[in-house]
A and B are shown apart, each in its own frame.
Chain A
Amino acid sequence: MARIECPKCHHVVDTPGIVTVCPECGADLRGVMEELAHRREKMRDVAHDDSVTTHEFIVRTKELEKIYVMGEVEVPALRGVEINIRRGEYLSIMGPSGSGKSTLFNMVGGLDKPTKGTCFIEEVDMAQLDAFELAWLRCRKIGYIFQTFNLIPVMTALENVTLPMIFAGMSSDEMMERGAMLLELVGLGDRLHHKPYELSGGQQQRVAVARALANAPAIILADEPTGNLDLQTGKEIIDLLKELNEESGVTIISATHDLKMIDVSDRVVHIRDGQVERIENRADIDLDVGSLGSEADPELDE
């Protein structure tokens, strides 16, 4: 409990709860303490009221737990993760491999079901959705980018980008036009009819980014998007994501252990052993990294 002020002599008591009487004037402090506790409870209720949080948080997780059963051994991958992700935010989930960040990614993206706890997307409880609604959510609300690109190998870049639009029921002409525009946006306007194997890794990932944007989702989930790319190409993809985030306001959630991501992230969530270790805001990180980076990399000064 925080410090309270004695109502009589205005002496500040540091340890209410241990001391129930003001050490200066001997007045009874229990009334003030009760009032404070009551006020706190009220604040907590407000924080949990959906109507208050709806617009601020696009993704919320609540006591998210995931246990993988491998033979007879139970391996906990997530142990009560609670994060709130703001609309329009560029959030990075960092952690060593095996820390549970990919598992968290799968839960938030509706790709797997948690063992316990829930995940809310735009205040919709994912656990309550049936298969159709879940597919709709994946199709319209979330765009996915993977470490291994996961393009459909038999389709051209344009066909890959338009596939989610087919599912969304878009007309053929509209689809082609939008697909071409999206590829243009990611800088592949001249590669529309190339197959994935005819493209470099960076180009394939750009196609994946365009595909993630197909139905103008509110969230882009990226699982180690730079994991299979060299430094320069990785940087290009990160910059592309950041620019998209700034221009279109799409929320980007990226699981990564690429330190280049820190520069562009609004917040960084550090995961360790299936729990949130700490959450850093960009302002704090700038202080840590900025002085080092500006000497080593002159580009950062721009």
Chain B
Amino acid sequence: MINKELARKLYAEDDRLEPGAEVQRQITLPWGQAARISYRNVTMRLGRAMITGAGVVLGIAFLCSVWTAKVAQEGIARFEATSATYVGGEEASLAPGAEEAEAEAKARAARQAWLVVMSLLVSAVGITNSMLMSVTERFREIGTMKCLGALDEFIVRLFLIESAVLGMLGSIVGAILGHLIMLVVYITKERGVAAMMDWGQMVEYILIALGIGTVLSLFAAVPPAVRAARMPPAAALSTEI
């Protein structure tokens, strides 16, 4: 048996909520609450979030390793070039060596540009794929939220926060991972490589990689989220995954 007094009280309270008052005629999802729900979504589904994040981590790690290799090779080349001028001394012996080095640098730059493009593609595909999955598997939840009065933009807002956070965290981990691994590889090859590298350039590359990771995950998550949010709740609820 239910507590009858409680039942009546819970409904009596409703008199204040009646739509007569214009102020009450609102539907809101404050950013604070949205952040709390998104945080819940990430922490509660940590395994799933890590898989989603792994797509970002791998892509950005690849990108960062390529850039680290580029900076390291450029550093080594510069170091060799300066020591060559220093050792060679005479102008006549320098000229053919410099030409050779220049041609080699050009070929290396082309190879690296190709690698960067490839790694960008890999990260874009990986991120899009994992974000798409994480939205798709939550269609039912999205439908339920809409039944409870969520506007389309609330749904989008939740996924926006979540994917931005996941993208950023994934990018940071990926950047550190990719950078460190490539650095270790180069240090084992050339002991003094750290001193030869242009660190200003390196930091710039890492920041760009972080930006790319975050923006890519946002762009990958928002279109499916918008599509899911626009679905009639009945359709979202009846989705079977």
| Chain A residues within CB distance 8 Å of chain B | 106, 109, 111-113, 131-132, 135-136, 138-140, 144, 146, 150-155, 159, 163-164, 166-169, 178, 181-182, 184-187, 211, 213-216, 240, 243-244, 247-250
Contact = CB atoms under 8 A, between A and B. Distances in A.
Interface in B89-117: none
A112 B232 contact: yes
Interface string B1-18: 111101111110110010
A248 B11 contact: yes
B241 interface: no
Given A139-B27, A244-B7, A247-B7, A168 B233 contact: no
Interface residues of B, number: 45
Contacts of B24: 168-169
Interface stretch (B128-136, B145-153, B184-192, B196-204): B145-153
Contact of B149 (A138, A152, A249): A138
Query: Which of A153, A155, A166, A244 gathers most chain B CB within 10 Å?
Result: A166
Interface stretch (B40-48, B56-64, B163-171): B40-48
Contacts of A151: 144
Contact of B27 (A132, A186, A249): A132
Contacts of B7: 185, 243-244, 247-248
Contacts of B41: 154
Contact of A106 (B8, B30, B144, B234): B234
A197 to B, nearest CB: 11
Interface in B181-217: none
B140 interface: yes
A216 B148 contact: no
Contact of B28 (A131, A138, A169): A169
Given A166-B33, A167-B29, A216-B17, A111 B147 contact: yes
Contact of A132 (B3, B151, B232, B235): B151
B13 A211 contact: no
Given A132-B27, A139-B27, 17 more contacts: A106-B234, A111-B147, A131-B152, A136-B25, A140-B149, A146-B237, A164-B148, A167-B27, A167-B29, A167-B150, A167-B154, A168-B149, A186-B2, A214-B148, A244-B2, A244-B7, A248-B8
